[in-house]
Amino acid sequence: MSEHVMIDLETLGTGNDAVIISLGAVKFNPVADTLREGFYVRISPESCVAHGLKIDGQTVTWWLQADRADARQALLASEEMDLASALDGFAIWFGLESRPVWGNGATFDNVILRNAYRAARMDCPWEFWHDRCFRTFKSLAPNLPKPTFDAADVQHHALGDARAQARQMQLIVKQLKLGGVK
């Protein structure tokens, strides 16, 4: 069974050219009960804008709502990095071998991250045929529980969300007896 990667982005927009404010990812095996090492980086919005990525006012307003205070605090707790350095760090963490990359939405995480690589004139570390949609996958088991967060994780923190999504996928694979997921 090959290793997969679950990614999650926090952004300041919903279009495929959205500014990314954080990137979280975790390596995992869909048929196992454990997660491998994670990756997390907070990204400077200014550096994203300098590469042509866009900010959407409605998304900024969404981030400012009171129920997102914990997520904002968790985001601001880590040091900010420019887009190119963040993408380079992710590519190094990802490794040289392309593998399945899951994002929560056919037009969101993977597409936005791939477009950020393009905007920064860098190579995306996975091949396009490895793009996977976790939102579509989880619709196969709509009655299973929502993802679970570790005590240290906060919802809308990119690494916490990536971990929770990977655990939810492992539960779906187990419940549906999909041991051949590749």
| Contacts of range 132-136, beta carbons closer than 8 Å, 24 or more positions apart | 132/4, 132/100, 132/101, 132/102, 132/103, 133/102, 133/103, 133/105, 133/106, 134/6, 134/102, 134/103, 134/104, 134/105, 134/165, 134/169, 135/104, 135/105, 135/106, 136/106
The superfamily CATH assigns to domain 4-175 is Ribonuclease H-like superfamily/Ribonuclease H (3.30.420.10)
- For the four alpha carbons of 122, 128, 133 and 137, in that order, the dihedral sign comes to negative
Q: How confident is the model at residue 76 (pLDDT cuts 50, 70, 90)?
A: confident
Residue with tokens 């300098």: 50
The whole-number pLDDT of residue 78 equals 87
Percent of the chain at pLDDT > 70 equals: 92
Q: Give the integer Cα–Cα distance in Å for 62 and 156.
A: 12
More confident residue, 76 or 98: 98
Condensed to tens digits (0 to 9), the pLDDT of residues 99-134 reads 999 999 999 999 999 999 999 999 999 999 999 999
The whole-number pLDDT of residue 146 equals 72
Tell me the pTM.
0.92
Residue 34 has pLDDT above 70, yes or no: yes
Q: Give the integer Cα–Cα distance in Å for 52 and 37.
A: 31
Task: Give residue limits of the domains in the chain.
Answer: 4-175
Q: Is 137 exposed, middle or buried (0-12, 13-18, 19+ CB in 10 A)?
A: buried
Residue with tokens 């994002």: 103
> Pick from 52, 55, 56: which is nearest to 121 by CA?
52
Give the chain's mean pLDDT: 91
The whole-number pLDDT of residue 1 equals 46
103, 63 in Cβ contact below 8 A? Answer: no
6, 17 in Cβ contact below 8 A? Answer: no
Q: Give the integer Cα–Cα distance in Å for 180 and 1.
A: 8
Reported in sequence order, the residue ranges of the chain that DSSP labels E, i.e. its strands, are 4-11, 20-28, 35-43, 80-81, 101-103, 131-133
